[in-house]
Amino acid sequence: MKTRDRILFTSLLLFNQEGEQNITTVDIANEMDISPGNLYYHFKGKESIIETLYTDYDKQLTLLLNQSMENTLSVEDHWLFIYVLFEEIYKFRFFYLNVADIMFKYPDVERRFRRLLLLKIKTIEALCKSLLERLEVEVDEGDIRFLAENIVQSMMYWFAYQQLVRPQEKGEDLVHLGVYHILSLAAPYIGINQDQYLAIIKKLYKKT
């Protein structure tokens, strides 16, 4: 691994574990056993590391969100899609554990984070629509929009909330539980097919 990539890898690890606000570039250099000068040769400060990490995250998430809209999906496909999305959020969870603070400190990240958020809402809205159509449920646009915003908000703060309610739980288990929770949010909209839908997602939850 090249030094530049190792810096990014180590930063991500430390930010996720300790919180971005508790880690300096000196901590990162120490953890890697390199000099602060060597780190500085690659990144001119923490801001530059954060922005590079954010660019990685934004690129991967945008790709994922754009792909999802290509065709109508089965419940199993939705499960997989939300799962991959959650894994990506988990990988970069430090952005979500202190959103307000990070947005305040890094205005460039804030601007792009907000744009990504709108794309997320739009995509999840399209997915909810496709899911409900496939299950032959008639729902009005306002309800779908409401459900989508609720899903996006829940996903966004999932790890922060779980850290409070279930501090002992392992990250991987929280990803599984999160996917199950998110898909459950759609259940009450489904009406008579609700039990069948819940049985499918419960099965997927237990299998993983």
Residues that bind its own copies (CB under 8 A): 19, 21-22, 97-101, 103-104, 113-114, 117, 143, 146, 150, 153-154, 156-157, 160-161, 163-165, 184-185, 188-189
Closer residue to its own copies in complex, CB, 43/94: 94
Closer residue to its own copies in complex, CB, 42/105: 105
**Any alpha helices (H) in the chain, and if so which ranges?**
3-18, 25-32, 36-42, 46-68, 75-91, 94-97, 99-105, 107-134, 141-156, 158-165, 171-185, 194-207
Closer residue to its own copies in complex, CB, 3/21: 21
For residue 101, the minimal CB distance to its own copies (Å) is: 5
At 69 the three-state DSSP class reads: coil
Closer residue to its own copies in complex, CB, 79/158: 158
For residue 84, the minimal CB distance to its own copies (Å) is: 22
CA neighbor of 3 nearest in space, from 30, 47, 42: 42
Quote the CA–CA distance of 204 and 54 in Å, as a whole number: 31
For residue 35, the minimal CB distance to its own copies (Å) is: 29
| Tokens, residue 156 | 């966004």
For residue 199, the minimal CB distance to its own copies (Å) is: 13
Quote the CA–CA distance of 175 and 163 in Å, as a whole number: 12
Residue 191 DSSP symbol: G
Closer residue to its own copies in complex, CB, 4/202: 202
For residue 164, the minimal CB distance to its own copies (Å) is: 6
Question: If phi over 0 gives left and psi between -120 and 50 gives alpha, with beta otherwise, what is residue 71?
Answer: beta
Output b/e per residue, 137-158; b: 16+ Cβ within 10 A.
bebeeeebeebbeebbeebbeb
For residue 162, the minimal CB distance to its own copies (Å) is: 9
| Tokens, residue 9 | 């890898």
Closer residue to its own copies in complex, CB, 172/195: 195
